[in-house]
Structure 1
Amino acid sequence: MPPSFKSIRGRLDRAGIFLSGLCAVHCVLGVVLVGVLGLGGGVLLDPAIHEVGLALAVVFGAVSLGFGVRHHGRVAPLVIGGLGLSLMATALFVGHGLPEAVLTILGVALVASAHIVNLRGHRAHASDQHRP
């Protein structure tokens, strides 16, 4: 596999981890600022933010975790990521508040974990190929 492709694949996983973290921060800030302080409801609770975030998560997850299955043959990251994306999608339908925050944070934690497991799978696969 060309080195540039390996670099892109790793960057996609890292971007997925970063975006998961941003999503969790957005969710916590939304609960605190809107629920506790009554600030920013129009912006932080805008459905478009959640829909775009989920779309980005699906794209990064499908591409990087799908490449992972093809490269190292481990399906676990794809399954973990899929479960996380399912929780995130479910959060879009429960309405704003604590249930949405819990589902989203659990979902992004699973998606980030899937990307971490995927990165480790790539490293393990690479080290296995270099052994005599």
Structure 2
Amino acid sequence: MAITAIRNRLDRAGIVLSGLCALHCVLGVFFVGFLGLGGEVLLAPDVHRVGLVLALVVGVISLGFGVVRHGRIAPLVIGAVGLALMAGAIAVGHGLAESVLTIIGVALVALAHIRNLHRAH
């Protein structure tokens, strides 16, 4: 029972982290692109690297355990594609391509966590 609660919390944390990442991306485009503010903080490479590492850790643990628990691989595959897009966003550098890849990636990661939670019940 305690393991299930931890897995559910990790999936919920993955959804929250995905939302925060998307918010960061949209606010970064708005503040830097339209207002010319906050570029040194919002566009700092370390922010993106740390976010990706957190997403990888939470995703691998919760989505991996989900496969073991409910036997469905789809959430893991969806999450892996999302994480790959997020990693690709770091590789392309700042700009529209990065924003699009990141937003699609985090949406897929969030969807994977939601599917994982639904499969668990």
Q: Note the aligned Cα RMSD (angstroms).
A: 0.4
Mark the runs of 5 or more structure 1 residues left unpaired by the alignment.
Answer: 124-132
Q: Provide the secondary structure at the position in 2 that maps to 1:59.
A: helix
Q: Which residue of 1 aligns with 2:73?
A: 75
Q: Provide the secondary structure at the position in 2 that maps to 1:93.
A: helix
Within a 5 Å distance, the mapping from 1:79-90 to structure 2 comes to: 79-90=77-88
- Does residue 116 in structure 1 map to residue 114 in structure 2? yes
Q: Provide the secondary structure at the position in 2 that maps to 1:92.
A: helix
Q: Distance in 2 between matches of 1:111 and 1:93?
A: 18
Between structure 1 and structure 2, the one with the greater Rg is 1
Structure 1 consecutive aligned stretches of length 4 or more whose deviation exceeds 3 Å = none
Q: Provide the secondary structure at the position in 2 that maps to 1:63.
A: helix
Deviations 1:45-93 (A, max 9, x none): 0000000000000000000000000000000000000000000000001
Which residue, 1, 12, 15 being the options, matches 1:17? 15
Deviations 1:85-109 (A, max 9, x none): 0000000011111110000000000
TM-score scaled by length of structure 2: 0.99
Q: Which residue of 2 aligns with 1:127?
A: none
Q: Which residue of 2 aligns with 1:51?
A: 49
Identity of aligned residues (%): 68
Q: In the alignment, residue 117 of structure 2 is paired with which amino acid?
A: L
The count of residues paired between Structure 1 and Structure 2 equals 121
Q: Distance in 1 between matches of 2:95 and 2:24?
A: 13
Which residue, 2, 5, 25 being the options, matches 1:4? 2
Which residue, 95, 101, 104 being the options, matches 1:103? 101
TM-score scaled by length of structure 1: 0.91
